[in-house]
Amino acid sequence: MLTNTIEREHQTEAPVVQVTRLQEMAETICGNALSTARLRLPARQQDAPLTSLLQLPVYLNNFKYGLAEGTMNVIVANDGNVQAVYHFEESTNPDSETEEALLPDIGVHLLLLVDSNSAALTTFIKSLDESLSGLIRELPLPALAKRSSAINVITITQEDVEKRVGYGALLSSMFARPVKLWAREK
């Protein structure tokens, strides 16, 4: 046993650990969201263990907001095609009656107004979701381990908005209008 340890210490090659830039971005988003959510709590609650904090709806809402903000920042920084970002509630999602709606809602729902839809943006969002979802499943709340997705990002075009097609109709909705989080300066 000791000789194996000594032999490993004298190896010239370091073990290969591949961490993608996307994984690093997801870890930053998740870590910042956890920290920010803690700081938004009253001082007497900030030192509580994460297991306890994840039971608090206010903490989960703060965490969700942090995930939305971090996700938005990463997407906008990586794709100049995005013109505006909106947040909408899951209750406006026609699929909200599924089993996942019964789990703690930490899912981020964003609408991206884009110049045009692109496969690159779709792939980037899917990969970011996979990375974030893996991190969220590791949090100490069993219900989160069942979540298959952390972010629901839907792209819409100006034509969708003008024709009120699909989620583009939400931007002119009287009852379920999404909140604008960011818009590119023209």
The answer to whether 148 and 107 are in contact (CB under 8 A) is no
Sequence spans of domains, the chain: 21-183
Q: Residue 26, Cα to own-chain centre: how many angstroms? A: 8
Please work out, in degrees rounded to the nearest 5, the angle formed at the alpha carbon of residue 176 by the alpha carbons of 85 and 106. Answer: 65
pLDDT at 94: 41
pTM of the model: 0.81
pLDDT tens, per residue, the chain with 186 residues? 433 433 444 444 555 545 689 999 999 999 999 999 999 999 999 999 999 999 999 999 999 999 999 999 999 999 999 999 999 986 644 444 444 444 456 789 999 999 999 999 999 999 999 999 999 999 998 888 888 899 999 999 999 999 999 999 999 988 888 999 999 987
The answer to whether 26 and 32 are in contact (CB under 8 A) is no
The interaxial angle of helices 57-78 and 21-39, nearest 10 deg, is: 140
Looking at residue 146, its amino acid is K
